Amino acid sequence: MSLAELNARLAAKPAAELRVDGLSVTYNTARGPFHAVEDVGFTVPAGTNLGLVGESGCGKSTVVKALMGLLPEGTGLTGRALLDGDDILGLTDDALRDVRWNRIALITQSAMNSLDPVYSIGDQIVEAIRAHEPVGRATAWARAEEMFALVGLPAARLTEFPHMFSGGMRQRAVIAMALALNAGMLLADEPTTALDPIMQSQIMARIRGIHAHMRRSMVLVTHDIAVVAETCETTVVMYAGKVVESGPTGQVLGRPLHPYTMGLQNAFPRLPVRGAPRQPLISIPGVVPNLASPPPGCRFAGRCPFAADLCRTTPPPVAAAGPQQAACHFTDRAEEFRAAAALPETWRKMRAAA
Ligand SMILES: Nc1ncnc2c1ncn2[C@@H]1O[C@H](COP(=O)(O)OP(=O)(O)OP(=O)(O)O)[C@@H](O)[C@H]1O
Ligand code: SF4
Ligand SMILES: [Mg+2]
């Protein structure tokens, strides 16, 4: 098969749809079960981007690992994740080999973990291509050269080993690898966290550009709400292992219904508007509850400035306002909460009480 034929085959692969439903993950630890993710659900329509946000430890990477079949052995896993209708949760190793890179590809937080130190980067990309497509080495190598060009790396460096690359170059090499088979679904877990700020924006711009060009589907995990606002049609906000709010990005970030989303938004620096006073940075006081024994009511109650007695005893139901959903007892008071959440005093009082 020639490179042109391979490229045509890969270009014909459609973008994938992913429907995650009731996903729960329980790690087995020396101290007992740890419920890292509970009853998480979301849908990524084909050809769209979904941003998964929430502070450190809320379970974002656990969701991604569950989807890629990368959880440690013995981890409790329930729910479904339908990739174009096929459940990809808990597949056997053989079945997984068919899905990974080919139908769903991953760009991780640390590129080093995705690359094998003992093979050249070119050999690894060639290997991945040939595991799924009936092509000779020369054609696969030519495809790898094209992918390197796409991410801005010189083809001559394909023969080098991962340790010979800088952090930014390794991250680009992993992106090249993830794009090599034109998988319909891309999972990007903090793809730029390990890089310096200039490299971060360069790499993010590259992922966005490539993505828009190829019209793939993507789940983008990030701490950076500004990146989600620019890149993702849908936003899912997680807190302490659960989805607390989800919906179209404009609504979730523009008119949040959940106090945690309101707080998260305040915790991010806004772009300064010329002439306007700088928005003070508010951070959410307190820490995420221990998920070895989650609190009985709303998991955010210990940090929420609007918590009432009901919140501490009863888990909130999911309330929907059109496609926007939030798990809070008082979504009907969201407008009042938004106004209060914009004031630093609201959160400062919490800090004083904590
Ligand atoms: N293999 C494991 N065994 C036990 N607990 C784990 C394991 N991996 C993760 N955890 C715990 O599960 C919780 C969720 O972790 P996870 O890595 O999914 O969070 P995250 O949202 O990706 O955080 P970050 O933003 O820091 O990457 C954390 O409390 C973490 O300590
Ligand atoms: S349910 Fe109560 S504690 Fe939880 S976010 Fe809503 S108001 Fe705050
Ligand atoms: Mg993570």
Edge-to-edge, what's the strand order for the sheet holding 86-87? 32-44, 18-29, 76-83, 86-87
Contacting residues for 60 by C-beta, under 8 A, at least 6 apart: 52, 53, 54, 189, 221, 238
The ranges assigned to domains in the chain are 3-223, 259-325+334-353
Q: What's the pLDDT band for 272 if we cut at 50, 70, 90?
A: very low
> Which residue among 27, 64, 68, 220 is best mutated to probe the pocket of ligand 1, counting the most ligand atoms within 8 A of its Cβ?
27
* CATH class entry, domain 3-223: alpha beta
Closest listed ligand to the CA of 189? 3
Query: Average pLDDT over the chain, rounded to whole?
Result: 90
Residues bordering ligand 3, an ion, CB closer than 5 Å: 61
Residues 327-340 have pLDDT tens digits of 999 999 999 999 99
Q: How far is the CA of 36 from the centre of ligand 1 (A)?
A: 7
For the CA atoms of the chain, what is the radius of gyration? Answer: 22
At 89-142, the pLDDT tens digits run 989 889 998 999 999 999 986 666 778 899 999 999 999 999 999 999 999 999
In this prediction the pTM is 0.92
CA distance 204 to 210: 10
| CA 328 / ligand 2 centre spacing (Å) | 5
Chain position carrying tokens 């008119």: 255
In the structure, what pLDDT confidence band is assigned to residue 273 with cuts at 50, 70 and 90? very low
Question: Does residue 245 contact residue 327 with C-beta atoms inside 8 Å?
Answer: yes
